[in-house]
Structure 1
Amino acid sequence: MVTPLLWALAAIVVVALLFVLELRRELKAAYTPTTGERIDVSLRPNLALLIIDMQEDFTTVGGRYGWDEAYLKARIEAIDIMAAKAKKADIPVIAIRHVYRAPLIRLMIRLFGEGRGIPGSRGLGLMRLPVEPDFEVLKARSDSFSSPELEGYLAAKQIGTLLLTGLDGSYCVQATANGALNRGYRVEIVEDALLSRDQADWGRQVAALKGRGAVLI
């Protein structure tokens, strides 16, 4: 005989399983690089600097989710130098901001990630840059190309080469790099202006990106 307690336990197991499956689906969608129409780089002679996810939520010092202060400072200085040089050379500076929107990912970040990067957080804004960005993109997935306005801007400015800076190398930077490569862009990653928590994993990502034609500078 099946007791009410067993029915309740079975229901809990089913709900938990559905939760896990849906969370896995959201994570896969969030972290998988996008694909799109390939460009003709011969018709795209210009380049742009992308500054990825350098937001207050993701650039704190110390604590469980913070960075080593010296490491963070050095990377921010390198990004600032790149931004100033780009502006002086009339190279567009594109600032990318991330906001987690998938419901279960938001829930997990609220519970275990101190609420960083979810709607309503006070740290969603960009860190102060030495120049005003020429364009800003808001994304909800790792790959910046998941926001269609990025492709529209790049097309309007005849941009075929992307200089990538920001964080995190193993996640949003590599996903954006792969999204760009999937579309035929030239990709150059500015190593000194990039942050990555897992250096071993970033090394593996670099090897894969180089195999696809990306360049580290």
Structure 2
Amino acid sequence: MTPLLWALAAIAVLAVLLVLELRRELKLAYMPTAGERIDFSQRPNLALIIIDMQEDFTSVGGRYGWDEAYLKARIEAIDIMAIKAKKAEIPVIAIRHVYRAPLIRLMIRLFGEGRGIPGSSGLGLMTLPVEPDFDVLKTRSDSFSSPELEGYLAEKQIGTLLLTGLDGSYCVQATANGALNRGYRVEIVEDAVLSRDQADWGKHVAALKGRGAVLI
């Protein structure tokens, strides 16, 4: 085999390995987590969870932006939930996402305008009408991948989660499944969830309802 063919073969093998590693990173990133089941009888409280409503992910128009009317309606619904939660002394938990897996980060830098990767100026939470009681940074779709969340929920004796935010087919459903895996009661605030693919989100909703989640 000539040096050129050796080089081409090496490049081909490297490309296959990179694809396999990217698939592994994506599978891990999107997979709901499992954990120790809670004693629901000892968790009488509830919390409002606002998932990934960050500047990077809430722009209008363009390749990765939202329809303005759709985004505005969802933000208004989230704001209303946040205000009601504060008045009822229900904790408001803000979840923020940052992509750290090397190949996913590279793909987003190349093809995703760098949204959600370390160093982006849009990692901060979009403006809310209230100050969150707790802020969680995650690197996987399921918010329970960050141990800080479980610690806070245990401290506050929280057993019921009201889920809002984006994207329904990814981080919202993964967080819902992670919560159900641990025995939490999950209530999804339908008009306060954003999803780019409504048909796919509908399939996730049906599956979540089959597991005991409630749509409100």
Range of TM-score over shorter length: over 0.9
Q: How far apart, in 1, do the equivalents of 2:148 and 2:126 lie?
A: 22
Q: Secondary structure at the match of 1:189?
A: strand
- Residue 40 of structure 1: CA displacement? 1.0
Cα deviation code 1:177-215 (max 9, x no counterpart): 000000000000000001000000001000100000000
Q: Give 4+ residue runs of structure 1 displaced > 4 Å after superposition.
A: none
Q: How is 1:119-130 mapped onto 2 (pairs within 5 angstroms)?
A: 119-130=118-129
Task: State yes or no: 1:178 paired with 2:177.
Answer: yes
Q: Secondary structure at the match of 2:161?
A: strand
5+ long unaligned stretches in structure 2: none
Q: Secondary structure at the match of 1:176?
A: helix
- 1:94 maps to amino acid: I
- 1:120 maps to amino acid: G
Q: How far apart, in 1, do the equivalents of 2:133 and 2:154 lie?
A: 15
Percentage identity across paired residues of the two chains: 90
How many residues end up aligned between the 2 structures? 216
Find the counterpart in structure 2 of residue 3 from structure 1.
2
Q: How is 1:32-47 mapped onto 2 (pairs within 5 angstroms)?
A: 32-47=31-46
- Residue 86 of structure 1: CA displacement? 0.1
Find the counterpart in structure 2 of residue 67 from structure 1.
66
Q: How far apart, in 2, do the equivalents of 1:44 and 1:61 lie?
A: 39
Task: State yes or no: 1:193 paired with 2:192.
Answer: yes
Find the counterpart in structure 2 of residue 14 from structure 1.
13
Q: How far apart, in 2, do the equivalents of 1:62 and 1:42 lie?
A: 46
Q: Secondary structure at the match of 1:203?
A: helix
Q: How is 1:102-113 mapped onto 2 (pairs within 5 angstroms)?
A: 102-113=101-112
- 1:196 maps to amino acid: S
Cα deviation code 1:116-163 (max 9, x no counterpart): 000000000000000000000000000000000000000000000000
* Root-mean-square deviation over aligned CA pairs: 0.3
- Give the TM-score taking structure 2 as reference length: 1.00
Q: How far apart, in 2, do the equivalents of 1:90 and 1:173 lie?
A: 23
